[in-house]
Amino acid sequence: MLNKPLVGIVMGSDSDWPLVKTAAEILRKFDVDFEVRVISAHRTPELAAQYATTAEERGLQVILAAAGGAAHLGGVLAAHTVLPVVGIPIQGGALNGLDSLYATIQMPAGIPVATVTLGSAGPVNAALFAVQILGSAHPALRTKFHDYKVELKEKVVQGNQRVNADLL
């Protein structure tokens, strides 16, 4: 699109990548340039703060923050930037992701972090939300998102046809 990353994808551990890479795939589908980093809110807090404080000047417009366990990454990044942050809670661990979900959605007033669902839909929805945010300033992206919605409708129609054909 602009050959400059507009979206930052940050995850607390490289073990999150198999799930989070679907966000990268969605952004590629929409021709949105992005960057990917592994940064821990707890093990590398200075790096997290530096990443967030320099994100705007580097041209980023949205940050996707994926974390499991004590999932404070989204909040830490949001505390250090004015850019929209979308939290992706990672399912797993002793509480099967419930701790990640709570840590991501329970932000104090003044530190907003939009939060998507647990599981495989989370990174997909986070990337789509980033595309929607970017679409407010990039009309071509908004047009692509309209087209994407049409594709979704067509998939449902085709699914209905397959199910009904199977009944015969």
Gyration radius of the chain over CA positions: 17
Does residue 89 contact residue 122 with C-beta atoms inside 8 Å?
A: yes
SS3 43: coil
pLDDT of residue 2: 52
Q: Show pLDDT as tens, one digit a residue, over the chain (168 residues).
A: 557 999 999 999 999 999 999 999 999 999 999 999 999 999 999 999 999 999 999 999 999 999 988 789 999 999 999 999 999 999 988 899 999 999 999 999 999 999 999 999 999 999 999 999 999 999 999 999 999 999 999 999 999 999 999 998
Does residue 118 contact residue 87 with C-beta atoms inside 8 Å?
A: no
SS3 10: strand
Strand order in the sheet with 34-38: 34-38, 7-11, 62-67, 85-89, 114-115
pLDDT of residue 51: 98
H helix or E strand, kind and range, residue 36: strand 34-38
Residues 1 and 24: their CA atoms lie apart, in Å, by 14
pTM of the shown model? 0.94
Residue with tokens 């699109």: 1
Secondary structure E strands in 54-128: 62-67, 85-89, 114-115
Residues 83 and 78: their CA atoms lie apart, in Å, by 7
pLDDT of residue 29: 97
Residues 68 and 43: their CA atoms lie apart, in Å, by 13
pLDDT of residue 79: 98
Domains of the chain from N-terminus onward = 7-139 (3.40.50.1970)
**CA 128 to mean position of chain CA atoms:** 8
